[in-house]
Homo-oligomer: A and B are copies of this chain.
């Protein structure tokens, strides 16, 4: 069963004439006549009653005609749907984000995305530092909004912004009375650290900062998210050095102060598989850049 024959069949059925249909199909009449007869041979029954004034569907022909239109439409629709997905007008994108960015970026990013790609299904998944590469590689997320960026040969990274490091402390801490805290004042104080994968420049940035100032802070806890870090800070377990945007999600009782003599920052990046060529990724990147630029 060939779709072209079905298309010819429908044309002839609608025109009630081989000649008229051939004209509409921009082809000669004889080959169309042949194709119709081949279709009838394939079905095993006459589909048209040949009259002297044209052709007319038989009952069997009517039965086929009833389905043929739908089948043609469905095939065309499938092709169109594929094109729409390929072009980014339709589809699905699964956005991974790290918790530290949830408060600062997502509330503005989500409406921006819905405006830019209205036909696209969006879904969101929180990523942790230890699983984000895997989620990209197994395609369970299409793009990841990361802080800091991922470094992996299969993963493409676009840096879209950065956030300065700040000191997070309990509001009762004596340091909180300072407008900006000199790094030297941190010497010997307990530090709540985020995970430290080998190539992760997040804690590297903190480590580098302390090293540069020859300050040592004993690590009292390692936690997965900035939220946990701030909880421990509130509990008085120690201090944390976090990107400024974390401040938005800080509990009452935790305050942030700039570090006076440090300009260190952590990158915000959009990351995706190198072999994902969906145009939705570009669109997502544009939206994210726009939102992050206004932080």
Contact = CB atoms under 8 A, between A and B. Distances in A.
- How many identical chains are in the complex? 2
Contacts of A74: 67, 70-71, 74
Contact of A78 (B2, B71, B76): B71
Contacts of A77: 67
Nearest to A81: B63
A249 interface: no
Contacts of A6: 3, 75, 78
A81 B43 CA distance: 10
Interface of A: 1-4, 6, 42-47, 49, 58-64, 66-68, 70-71, 74-79, 81-87, 90-92, 275, 277-278
A245 B268 CA distance: 95
A87 B74 CA distance: 27
A43 B83 contact: yes
A59 B3 contact: no
A75 B83 contact: no
A45 B2 contact: no
A82 B47 contact: yes
Given A67-B77, A70-B74, A74-B67, A83 B60 contact: yes
Interface centre among A2, A63, A68, A277, by most B CB within 10 Å?
A63
A63 B85 contact: yes
A43 B82 contact: yes
A275 B49 contact: yes
Contacts of A76: 1
Given A3-B1, A59-B92, A71-B75, A64 B42 contact: no
A272 to B, nearest CB: 13
Contacts of A81: 63-64, 66-67
A54 to B, nearest CB: 15
Contacts of A2: 2-4
